[in-house]
Chain A
Amino acid sequence: MDIFFQQIINGLVIGSVYALVALGYTMVYGILGIINFAHGEVVMIGAMIALSIILFLFQFDIPIYLSLALVFFGAIIFCSLLAFCIEKVAYKPLRNAPRLAPLITAIGVSILLQNIAMLIWGRQYYSFPQIFNNDTYQIFGIANITTIQIIIILISLVTMFFLFYFINKTQYGMAMRATSEDKNAAKLMGIEINNVISITFIVGASLAAVAGILIAANYGIAHYSMGFMLGLKAFTAAVLGGIGNIVGAVIGGLLLGLIESLGAGYIEKLTFGFMGSNYQDVIAFLVLVLVLVIKPNGLVGEKSSTKV
């Protein structure tokens, strides 16, 4: 019984991680309608930059909170710049190109980032220093959770609400929605769509940076290839929830996380010992396919009526 609750917690934690990253995917997709494959790598860069900053700050004795602030600040700034450049270089020129072109450049960027990171930080796995005092709490004595895990869950929810507000209530948000509806119309309404797009990328990248740090801190490990798989899972989550939809991304993320942990925990019982935890990802993907077959636009994705 207690195992069940623990699995729920596990699911929520990893789900929140997916959600944080998925938000980045979903925003870019909402605006440009492209899969920003490089997003996963931006998460990785965020973690690695944070690592470098920490290792640098260790030389001087600065109050932990200041250094923490510096770490987050540095990573966010760097990732934002990176994403800004990526968009300008790899996506902007391709706004009107065949649909596959930006996808391929995205893949190219992702490969590039990963290997450059490998040249800078090398291939080794770094043990990521403890940036929070990471103690374990017991929830009603039936499940364990650590400080970082709590922070992860909170941050992902907070960011979701923040973004939701940002997009539905603020000027920029309105501009974003307008742009995603119809670029030309938006242009005509005097919206600087280039700025809107840049902002979208910057916000997404900032989230990625935060996600990167939290993930590295949670697993106590950082390396050049940590971004790719994570990116894929997050993208899956975004699609599951209905890509282009903020709430959907979070729901998708949490759902995917829960599916994975509960799946790994109980699939053996369900399949009478035929399948084990090794089929964790299979369940995740099968659920995805199922959802899309029933609701082709994801769980909360709004239906796009074919204009004829």
Chain B
Amino acid sequence: MKTNCKNNLFFFLCLVSSFFIASCDSNNSQFDSEGRKIVYIGHAGPLTGPIAHLGKDNENGVKLAIQEANDKNISLDGETIVFKVVSVDDEGKESKTTLVAQKLVDSEVSGVIGHLNSGTTIPASKIYHDEGIPQISPSATNVNYTNQGFPGAFRVMANDKQQGSALANFAINDINASKIAVIDDRTAYGKGLADIFEDTVQSLGGIISTREFTDVTKSDFTAILTKIKGLNVDLIFYAGMDVQGGPMLKQLDNLGLNVNFLTGDGCQTLQFIELAGKSSQGVYASSPGVPLDKMPGGIAFNLKYEQTFNQSIQIYGPYAYDATNTLIDAMIKANSYLPEKYLPFLKNIQFKGVTGDISFDAKGDINRGSISMYQVKNSKWEYLKTLGDN
């Protein structure tokens, strides 16, 4: 046992020392070279992993907003301040998200923009809440995020409820579907969207013939599609991502089953069309917000974005940009970067962003949750109309 003790001790010492070898990230000096007070704004999103491009897009949005803010030489409560982004990578994984959230807390950010998807946003929000740090997600749409009753949790994009019900309305009123089959991909996103769609359809008098499921590891959907074929429905609604929606449509064609296909923003992408090939013709899809060219400041922003990063906007960039500006605007109104001071102002902010006017309801959801509908016409997404715009 004595030797074991030695092992123990030795082993823990090794550990401790191994920490010292590891690089540590204590990046918060209080003032910059010109003696301006540094205020840290956190950004969290998947900077690596399957959807890294979307994460980068958000990061760019934040960076752009910060740049402009710094050019204005804002001074809060007497001292000139300069904003600095602390960007962390949650890999889009729940298992990592709390770790990076903690990193942001450690580097004493006064506000957080992020995370990108609901799966990461929800667990992280608890940590920010515990530290009293306000958080605005540019793109997390799951309803639970704002249902937790955290005063500091906001989002600038319509949530799944708004999108789901908009889709249901579109299915019933515009496609005039009566018998509908629903497929979801058993992710938080897919389930959330599909549940709300199902409820709304039923409340509108539509019939859900069946609810089928797949999961993100699958690429063969023939079994469920065949089952749906047997029920001769007049619309299939799929809540999931493009990489499966595409192949699904092909298999739909192979089975000789041609019905209307409606889907959410997960499939409203170019990849979807590429993967579905000619089968994508006529597919309907929704996407939160409005297309860039329909945004109040869309064109101008697009120009600016492409000049700064010489790459084009993916999806959520503008929303991240607006989220950041909203946060800064609240600070200016409160004349303080201290969360407890500016949070009240953030709660009832009225901000004109490039994506539209931004103001939050009691929960922290955006008031004007607009949803746009698109349809594939000869391998292009064509804008149809914007719903839920009230």
Q: A residues engaging B (CB < 8 A)?
A: 2-3, 6-7, 10-11, 13-14, 123-125, 127, 136, 138, 144, 146, 219-221, 223, 226, 229, 260-265, 268, 276-278, 280
Give the Cβ gap from B257 to chain A, nearest Cβ, in Å: 9
Give A7 to B220 CA distance when docked, in angstroms: 12
The verdict on A221 contacting B211 (CB below 8 Å), with A14-B222, A136-B256 known, is no
Name the residue on A nearest B257 (C-beta): A144
Tell me whether B274 is interfacial, beta carbon within 8 Å: yes
Name the residue on B nearest A278 (C-beta): B213
Give A220 to B280 CA distance when docked, in angstroms: 13
Give the Cβ gap from B270 to chain A, nearest Cβ, in Å: 11
Tell me whether B223 is interfacial, beta carbon within 8 Å: yes
Give A125 to B253 CA distance when docked, in angstroms: 20
Name the residue on A nearest B220 (C-beta): A14
Contact A6 B214 (CB under 8 A): no
One digit per residue, 1 when the CB lies within 8 angstroms of any chain A CB and 0 when it does not, for chain B 373-384 equals: 000000000000
Residues of chain A within 8 A (CB-CB) of B247 are 219-221
Residues of chain B within 8 A (CB-CB) of A277 are 212-214, 223-224, 227
Contact A3 B220 (CB under 8 A): no
Contact A220 B250 (CB under 8 A): yes
Contact A3 B226 (CB under 8 A): yes
Tell me whether B277 is interfacial, beta carbon within 8 Å: yes
Which of these, B219, B253, B254, B277, contacts A127 with CB under 8 Å?
A: B277
Contact A221 B223 (CB under 8 A): no
Contact B277 A220 (CB under 8 A): yes
Contact A280 B223 (CB under 8 A): yes
Residues of chain B within 8 A (CB-CB) of A10 are 220, 222-223, 226
Mostly, the A contact residues are helix
Which of these, A14, A136, A263, A276, contacts B212 with CB under 8 Å?
A: A276
Give A125 to B222 CA distance when docked, in angstroms: 20
Residues of chain B within 8 A (CB-CB) of A124 are 271
Residues of chain A within 8 A (CB-CB) of B49 are 123
Give A261 to B255 CA distance when docked, in angstroms: 14
Residues of chain B within 8 A (CB-CB) of A146 are 254
Residues of chain B within 8 A (CB-CB) of A144 are 254-256
Contact A125 B275 (CB under 8 A): yes
Q: Looking at B227, B274, B275, which has the most chain A CB atoms within 10 Å of its CB?
A: B227
Q: Looking at B223, B243, B256, which has the most chain A CB atoms within 10 Å of its CB?
A: B223
Mostly, the B contact residues are helix
Q: A14-B220, A277-B227 are in contact. List 9 more A-B contacts (CB 8 A).
A: A3-B226, A3-B229, A3-B230, A125-B243, A127-B246, A264-B223, A265-B223, A265-B227, A278-B213
Residues of chain B within 8 A (CB-CB) of A136 are 253-254, 256
Give A278 to B187 CA distance when docked, in angstroms: 12
Question: What would 20 A/B residue contacts be, using CB atoms closer than 8 Å?
Answer: A3-B226, A6-B255, A7-B227, A10-B222, A10-B226, A13-B222, A125-B243, A127-B246, A136-B253, A136-B254, A138-B256, A144-B256, A220-B275, A221-B275, A229-B218, A264-B223, A276-B213, A277-B214, A277-B223, A277-B227
The verdict on A7 contacting B226 (CB below 8 Å), with A123-B49, A221-B247, A276-B211 known, is yes
Give A106 to B215 CA distance when docked, in angstroms: 26
Tell me whether B186 is interfacial, beta carbon within 8 Å: yes
Task: Give 4 closest A-B pairs by Cβ, nearest first.
Answer: A278-B213, A264-B223, A3-B230, A10-B222
Give the Cβ gap from A146 to chain B, nearest Cβ, in Å: 5
Tell me whether B205 is interfacial, beta carbon within 8 Å: no
Residues of chain A within 8 A (CB-CB) of B212 are 276-277
Interface size class of B (residues with CB under 8 A): 20 to 34
Which of these, A127, A262, A264, A268, contacts B275 with CB under 8 Å?
A: A127
Give A146 to B218 CA distance when docked, in angstroms: 20
Tell me whether B50 is interfacial, beta carbon within 8 Å: yes
Name the residue on A nearest B279 (C-beta): A220
Give A123 to B50 CA distance when docked, in angstroms: 6
The verdict on A125 contacting B271 (CB below 8 Å), with A220-B247, A221-B247, A229-B217 known, is yes
Q: Looking at B49, B215, B226, which has the most chain A CB atoms within 10 Å of its CB?
A: B226
Residues of chain B within 8 A (CB-CB) of A280 are 223
Give A124 to B224 CA distance when docked, in angstroms: 25
Give the Cβ gap from A93 to chain B, nearest Cβ, in Å: 29
Give the Cβ gap from B245 to chain A, nearest Cβ, in Å: 11
Name the residue on B nearest A129 (C-beta): B277
Residues of chain B within 8 A (CB-CB) of A260 are 223
Residues of chain A within 8 A (CB-CB) of B220 are 10, 14, 219
Residues of chain A within 8 A (CB-CB) of B186 are 278
One digit per residue, 1 when the CB lies within 8 angstroms of any chain A CB and 0 when it does not, for chain B 279-313 equals: 00000000000000000000000000000000000
Residues of chain A within 8 A (CB-CB) of B275 are 125, 127, 220-221
Give the Cβ gap from A90 to chain B, nearest Cβ, in Å: 25
Give the Cβ gap from A11 to chain B, nearest Cβ, in Å: 8
Residues of chain A within 8 A (CB-CB) of B277 are 127, 220
Give A252 to B271 CA distance when docked, in angstroms: 35
Contact B223 A7 (CB under 8 A): yes
Residues of chain A within 8 A (CB-CB) of B215 are 278
Name the residue on B nearest A216 (C-beta): B219
Contact B219 A219 (CB under 8 A): yes
Residues of chain A within 8 A (CB-CB) of B250 are 219-220
Residues of chain B within 8 A (CB-CB) of A261 are 222-223, 226
